[in-house]
Structure formats: C-alpha cells, structure tokens
Structure 1
Amino acid sequence: MKLSDFIEQNGLTHEQMAERVGDCSVSGLRKWLRGERVPRPDQMRKITEITNGQVSPNDFYDLNPATPEVTG
C-alpha cells in the first residue's frame, strides 16, 4: 500500500502523519509522497510500525519487473 493511501484511508493530515513518524517535517513527508525522496531506514521502520505493516519499504520504490525482451 502506498503511504498516501494509508494517510487518506485513516483520515490523517500530513501534519499528523509527520508527527507520528517523528524526526520528519511536513515538507519531507510531501517529498516522499511525490516520490522525490525516500525515508531514511529509521523512518521506514517507524512507518512500517505505524501502519502495522501495510506500508513497507518496497512501497517507496517502483519494483515492477522489467518485461524480458523477446528475440527471435
């Protein structure tokens, strides 16, 4: 689950989520949501804890496997 989906589904503001993560500004949180930055490892652990595992480190990366090229 994306962090933005968790925030929306739980009726949280960006300010509330940043406060729960701790050591995180609202502008930093917004950069994560826009994909401009990823949380530090300690912040990722806190996010996973806060979301009960619904948001994991993998959710911050585009991990779609590349389609193998067909050669003939």
Structure 2
Amino acid sequence: MADLARELGLHDARTVHRYLNHSRIPRPAVMRRIVELSGGKVTPSDFYGAPCKARRA
C-alpha cells in the first residue's frame, strides 16, 4: 500500500487502506489519479456506490 500511496501523492499509506475499506472517499484529484493508474477499472462510482462508514457515524 505504501507504493500505491506514493503513486497517488499521499503521505500516509493508511489513507489507501481507508479508501479500500470504504471509510474515506478520495478527493477529486486523487480519484482522477486512481482512475488513471487503474486504466479505468476503478471509477468514482466505485467509491460512491459503497456505504461510507465515516458518513454513517
């Protein structure tokens, strides 16, 4: 996850973990980078379609 965090320009690999477990939604610039790095396999709707734990609290 540390490598992916670096590729996304993030300082903390825990942020990637939060994206993966749906407790955080990436900011638009990071989301664009995720789409680019995944070749379009991951899209913004992949994040918005999952329930966000942080928003349920």
TM-score, length-scaled by structure 1 = 0.62
Q: Identity rate of aligned residues, in percent?
A: 34
| Runs of 4+ more than 6 Å apart | none
Structure 2 alignment gaps of length 5 or more: 51-57
Larger Rg: 1
Distance 1:24 1:47, change over 3 A: farther
1:27-55 per-residue CA deviation (whole Å, 9 max, x = no partner) reads: 11111111101000000000011111111
Aligned residues: 50
Q: CA deviation at 1:19?
A: 1.0
**Which structure dedicates a bigger proportion of its chain to helix?**
2
Is structure 2 residue 50 aligned with structure 1 residue 31? no
Is structure 2 residue 8 aligned with structure 1 residue 21? yes
Structure 1 alignment gaps of length 5 or more: 1-13, 64-72
TM-score, length-scaled by structure 2 = 0.77
Give me the CA root mean square deviation: 1.4
